[in-house]
Amino acid sequence: MLPIAVTLGDPAGIGPEIIVKAFRDSGDDLRGCFVAGDVGLVRRAAALLAAPGALALPVAEIESPAEMAGVPPNCVPVLQVVEAPDAPIALGKVSAAAGRIAGNSVVWAARAALRGEIAAIVTAPLHKEALAAAGFNFPGHTELLQSEAAAHLGRPVSEVPVRMMLANDELRTVLVSIHMSLRRAIEAVTFDGVLETLRITHRSLIAVLGKAPKIGVAGLNPHAGEGGLFGTEERDIIAPAIAAAQREGIVAHGPHAPDTVFMRARTGEFDVVVAMYHDQGLIPVKYLGVEKGVNVTLGLPLVRTSPDHGTAFDIAGTGRADASSLIEAVRMARSLSREAAFSAA
């Protein structure tokens, strides 16, 4: 297996902390991983987490991913892929400097993955406002990675459709639209958008499950429109897209009432739920606990996962951040990259 890159995230948030905790506490789960970011910022996090009077977890600078094999156990390997900050990064505060480090770490990792130098990317949380302040014209990881993939493939971004999947031990959900206003998200519920989401979900989950997934499709409106009484999108858009997907051999059912379809998936009726917009799909997963949730970008020509939480500026530097979701994201990335390697072979 090629190594997995864990990007630093916003250094003003909990990204560096949870990375150090994951290397310290996860046993073999982080074996084969290295940090793509800034050595000094990882060392600062290690020092913050050290018990009084104890030595910090060692941080080793590597010159290339291949050198990771020579790093001793109980040590965090870091590849310096960004310019070191000119001034200290203040914890818990939005800054262009922090956004630049976070964004450039992701860009480096994306390009390395697209060149086939690493097996997968696990991205620690970044702050969207800081990312924008640094000049990145993307609302988040998903859109940035989509742009990098499109440039690598020599295609327009519109020809590299991607979707966000949130998953934990109890529920998986894939979104038709991602980071946009609710008004725009409703307008994004189109026949082509729903059908493309079903296709991407079908292809991607086959790699995860080893079989065609059973897809439950949420409606947009209360009670899935109640036969047109509460809206016609189900009748005019979503149901025809499901029917088209079924003709292609995709096991999709619905549209179902959004307030019950997630419960039905938890009991095993569906392997995954396709939700119509961001909060409709993410609230159920996050309610079940962000500590085990994993964000997976579907449709990319690379494997990318991420913890299911944000930068948590309010607790940055306190040592209270939980690394469980990051560890789960590494496990998922390793599983997906193995499946991708097996499929390619």
Q: How many other C-beta atoms are found inside a 10 Å radius of the C-beta of residue 197?
A: 26
DSSP state of 238: I
The answer to whether residue 292 scores a pLDDT higher than 80 is no
Helical spans, DSSP H, in 175-273: 182-187, 191-209, 233, 239-247, 258-266
Whether the predicted model's global pTM rises above the 0.85 cut: yes
Clarify whether residues 283 and 307 are in a common domain: no
Q: CATH no. for residue 95? A: 3.40.718.10
Q: Which among 288, 316, 336 is the end of a domain?
A: 288
Clarify whether residues 147 and 256 are in a common domain: no
Clarify whether residues 99 and 213 are in a common domain: no
The verdict on residue 91 lying in a domain is yes
Residue holding tokens 């609710």?
Answer: 182
Clarify whether residues 33 and 109 are in a common domain: yes
| Least reliable range by pLDDT among 1-10, 125-134, 266-275, 283-292 | 283-292
SS3 23: helix
Clarify whether residues 119 and 63 are in a common domain: yes
Buried b (16+ CB within 10 A) or exposed e, 297-306: bbbbebbbbb
| Least reliable range by pLDDT among 196-205, 299-308, 334-343 | 334-343
Q: Report the domain count for the chain.
A: 2
Clarify whether residues 9 and 131 are in a common domain: yes
Clarify whether residues 23 and 144 are in a common domain: yes
**Given this model, what pLDDT does residue 53 score?**
83
For residues 214-237, average pLDDT: 92
**Given this model, what pLDDT does residue 345 score?**
45
Band of the pLDDT at 161, cuts 50, 70, 90?
Answer: very high
CA dihedral 307, 309, 315, 318 (to 10 degrees): -10
For residues 62-84, average pLDDT: 91
Band of the pLDDT at 341, cuts 50, 70, 90?
Answer: low
| Least reliable range by pLDDT among 16-25, 109-118, 284-293 | 284-293
Instruction: Give the range of the structural domain holding residue 181, as residue numbers without chain letter.
Output: 169-288
**Given this model, what pLDDT does residue 339 score?**
65
**Given this model, what pLDDT does residue 288 score?**
84
Clarify whether residues 5 and 103 are in a common domain: yes
**Given this model, what pLDDT does residue 155 score?**
96
The verdict on residue 220 lying in a domain is yes
| Cα–Cα distance measured from residue 66 to residue 63, given in angstroms and rounded to the nearest whole number | 8
Q: How many other C-beta atoms are found inside a 10 Å radius of the C-beta of residue 1?
A: 12
The verdict on residue 296 lying in a domain is no
Clarify whether residues 77 and 118 are in a common domain: yes
For residues 64-89, average pLDDT: 92
Clarify whether residues 155 and 175 are in a common domain: no
Closest listed residue to residue 6, CA positions, set 308, 304, 218: 304
